[in-house]
Amino acid sequence: MSFTRNCFILVCLFVTFFTYAQERDKPRNGEGVHAFLRRHNRDDNQYYQKFIKLNKGKFGKKNALLSGVVYVLPPIAEDSNKPKVSNVPKVLEIPDVQDIPDEQNMPDVRNELDTLDINVSELSEEPDYVEQQPVKNKKSKAGYQPLFGQKYADYTILDNELDGACFFLSSGHGGPDCGAIAKVDGRELHEDEYAYDITLRLARNLLQHGATVYIIIQDSNDGIRDGKYLNNSRKETCMGAKIPLNQVARLQQRTDKINSLSRKSKEKYQRAVFIHLDSRSKKKQLDVFFYYQDKPENRKKSLRLAETMRRTFEDRYEKNQPGRGFSGTVSPRNLAVIRNTEPVSIFMELANMQNTFDQRRYILDNNRQALANWMTLGFIRDYRNSRP
């Protein structure tokens, strides 16, 4: 009797689990199947037929989505759009500790540099940077960027480590496209908001070291935001221009912007930076993925940057969480944004938004700051290595 009952409960649990595991959503106003699938990180070519099959009988004319109807999403195929990584790292035991420890308000990057016990020359076969360029006489050591929001708009220029370096920072998605979505504590967290917050923190750090920084995707309402849950908005622009809904046009807009600014910039060292989070299966804990630009004229420099970045993250983790290990990878990726961008580029995926462990990496503001600090270190090292 009790055995039968237990079985029954077990079956119920399974049924509930599988029903729950299936992702569903309602379309937005005017959204078609393709846009709907892309918004849920499902490359439409691969998922279109599955989607139509799964939702038979729920469409209007020509498979139009009906407003208010809940559609079932086909499960995301593991690593469907991942290139093969040649040196797949071993799976490491990850200790159950906070992903990146909160060091009291994350010290500014300069402090991190001071404590950095790694010799820069170990990072690259290219010659170490020995002597600094003559210091440009900066009239003021203070800077102001209203996009950072009230609390962070004022910043201090700490040194000129990145003097002569120019960065185009493009946070993923924005405007009508929120990117990946994670449901946490009953809230909907959007990729574009978290990518934007991390990008702003990175921008501020780079400015503090004397770099020239262009913030390509902007939201005049959202500065750098502390706290776990970032409100969603669709007000992001591409430096003031409305972001189109169409994916091809949307990506073209930001690469065009970067390319035109790049042609006007005098700096020899220019880097375009694309920052994303990611959405994969819930179980998959990820370390950071660094993608380099696989086109002949930029490959060498882009690969060096991605490698330097990966090593920087590895040694930061080792310092902060000895024994944790780091399995972040460097690989090429043939994405429209990096293919069409003229300056040397890097594309980073910082976490799997769906994974409970990864969530700490982006939900805690200290960790968003740590990610920005580590990226800054990576850029400083790469810039040093780039100099003759």
Binding interface with Zn ion (CB under 5 A): 172, 179, 276
Residue 159 has a CB neighbour count (10 Å cut-off) of 16
Using the minimum distance from each CB to Zn ion, give the nearer residue, 271 or 276: 276
Min CB(246)–Zn ion separation in Å:
16
CA 266, CA 303: separation in Å to the nearest integer?
23
How wide is the angle at C-alpha 282 spanned by C-alphas 278 and 286, nearest 5°? 50
Residue 78 beta carbon to Zn ion: minimum distance, rounded to whole angstroms: 17
Q: Of 172 and 210, which has the nearer Cβ to Zn ion?
A: 172
The H or E element that residue 4 is part of is helix 2-21
- State which residue, 257 or 276, has the beta carbon closest to Zn ion: 276
CB of 387 to Zn ion, least distance (A): 32
Q: Whole-number minimum distance, CB 191 to Zn ion, in Å?
A: 5
Query: Smallest distance from the beta carbon of 180 to Zn ion, in angstroms?
Result: 6
C-alpha dist (Å) from residue 322 to 95, 108, 316: 10, 21, 9
Pick between residue 371 and residue 377 the one whose CB is nearest to Zn ion: 371
Contacts of 236 (CB under 8 A, 6+ apart): 174, 175, 192, 196, 217, 218, 219, 243
Q: CB nearest Zn ion: which residue?
A: 276
Name the residue nearer to Zn ion (CB basis): 204 or 276: 276
Closest CA to 361 of 182, 168, 173, 216: 182
Q: How far is the CB of 46 from Zn ion (least distance, A)?
A: 17
| Alpha carbons 348 and 345: distance in angstroms, whole number | 10
Instruction: Report the alpha-carbon distance of residue 181 to residue 26 in Å, rounded.
Output: 13
Closest contact distance (angstroms) between CB of 96 and Zn ion is 27
What are the residues whose beta carbons fall under 8 Å from the beta carbon of 291, sequence distance 6 or more?
Answer: 306, 330, 331, 332, 333, 335, 338, 346, 347, 348, 349
DSSP annotation of 282 reads: T
**Toward Zn ion, which CB reaches closer, 175 or 179?**
179
Spatial strand order in the sheet of 237-238: 217-218, 237-238, 241-242
Instruction: Give min distance, CB of 47 to Zn ion, in A.
Output: 16
- Select 276 or 333, whichever has its Cβ closest to Zn ion: 276
Beta strands at 329-332 and 344-352: parallel, antiparallel or unpaired = unpaired
- For tokens 């499960």, the residue is 75
Between 109 and 258, whose beta carbon lies closer to Zn ion?
Answer: 258
Q: Which is nearer to Zn ion, 192 or 365 (CB)?
A: 192
Tallying the residues shown for the chain, one arrives at 388
End-to-end CA distance of the chain: 80
Least distance in angstroms from the C-beta of 354 to Zn ion:
13
